[in-house]
Amino acid sequence: MAGQIDRHGVQRLLQENAQLVDVLSAKDYEAEHIPRAINIPLKTLGQDVARRLDGERQVIVYCHDYQ
């Protein structure tokens, strides 16, 4: 099961070249997002889209809040 991290953990992992994924809609992502995040809306998350990610690197996913 994926571990939960706080924003300090996010900052630390980003320094270690982690991939940051915003799973909100494209509209929400375009409005504002965390720097370095790429947008993979949850409803599109499948095998093909996941190929955009490097399976050997850390991956951090986030949405708006505790949804």
Partner 1 sequence: MSARAASRLETLGFRHVHRYQPGRADWFAAGLPREGREAHTPRAADIAQRDVPTCRIDETVGGVRERIQAAGAHVCVVVDDQRVVLGLIDAEGLGSERNGPAERVMDPSPITFRPNLPAGTLPEYIKTPQSRALVTTSDGVLIGLLRLDDAKAHGAGAASSRPRGA
CA–CA separation, 30 and 39 (whole Å): 9
Q: Is 5 in the site for partner 1 (CB under 8 A)?
A: yes
Q: Is 14 in the site for partner 1 (CB under 8 A)?
A: no
Q: Is 22 exposed, middle or buried (0-12, 13-18, 19+ CB in 10 A)?
A: buried
3-state secondary structure of 39: strand
**Binding positions for partner 1, 22-41, rule CB under 8 A:** 22-24, 29-35, 40
Q: Where along the sequence are the contacts to partner 1 (CB under 8 A)?
A: 1-7, 9-10, 13, 18, 21-24, 29-35, 40, 42, 45-47, 50, 53, 55-67
